[in-house]
Amino acid sequence: MRVAKWNGKRNIVIGGLVILSVTSLGACSASSVEQERKLYNGEATTEGNFRAKQQGHGLNGALVKELTTGLSDRGLKLMHNMFEEDGQGGVSYMFLLNGSARHIVKMHVYPDASVRSAQMENMYGEPQENSVLENALGRTTIRSKGHVSLVYSSFGGEKDKYEQDVLQVFEQVLHQLREY
């Protein structure tokens, strides 16, 4: 009977490959378990919705696209998109108009009109659907319908520069909204 002799280096290599294979199987398994856990507890849906809102997809994305297109048709560009959730179902988007910090366009979307009204009063001191707030620093114009508010703020010596065009686009966007 013949007994096979194994080279020491060969044993180490084979042993290393076996350990590597078992480890990678364990890692894949742990990753799969984590993905399934997220599916079952709804975390995957929440993460996906957050990414969609942040990137402007879904219903809010249609509003952002309409706003962007309407302003672009007038030679105005929304830049530096910023996104924020309020933790109560509200989402806000903020843009610099033509990249200028003197011209800010915001879109606030809330679960319903009463929440929108309360939040507008909390942020701007004004619950009305249409209002203009002016002081020595600038002007803020709010246009709202249902659960959505569009806000244009302009500051300094340029506060009237884009207002007419922006408000026309606001009216077009809000006109297309259905009441919820």
Q: What is the pLDDT of residues 142-172, one digit of tens each?
A: 999 999 999 999 998 877 789 999 999 999 9
Fold of 56-175: Phosphorylase Kinase; domain 1 (3.30.200)
Average pLDDT of the chain is 79
pLDDT exceeds cutoff 60 at 117? yes
> Quick one: tokens of 110?
């809330």
Q: What is the pLDDT of residues 18-56, one digit of tens each?
A: 665 655 555 555 566 666 565 555 565 556 555 555 444
pLDDT exceeds cutoff 70 at 99? yes
Greater confidence (126 vs 145) lies with 145
Cα 173 from Cα 65, distance rounded (Å): 10
Residue range 72-98: mean pLDDT, rounded = 91
Q: Sheet harboring 91-97: ordered strands across? A: 78-85, 91-97, 100-109, 148-155, 138-145, 130-134
Helix axes 43-54, 58-72, angle to 10 degrees: 0
Query: With bands split at pLDDT 50, 70 and 90, how would you rate the model's confidence at 10?
Result: low
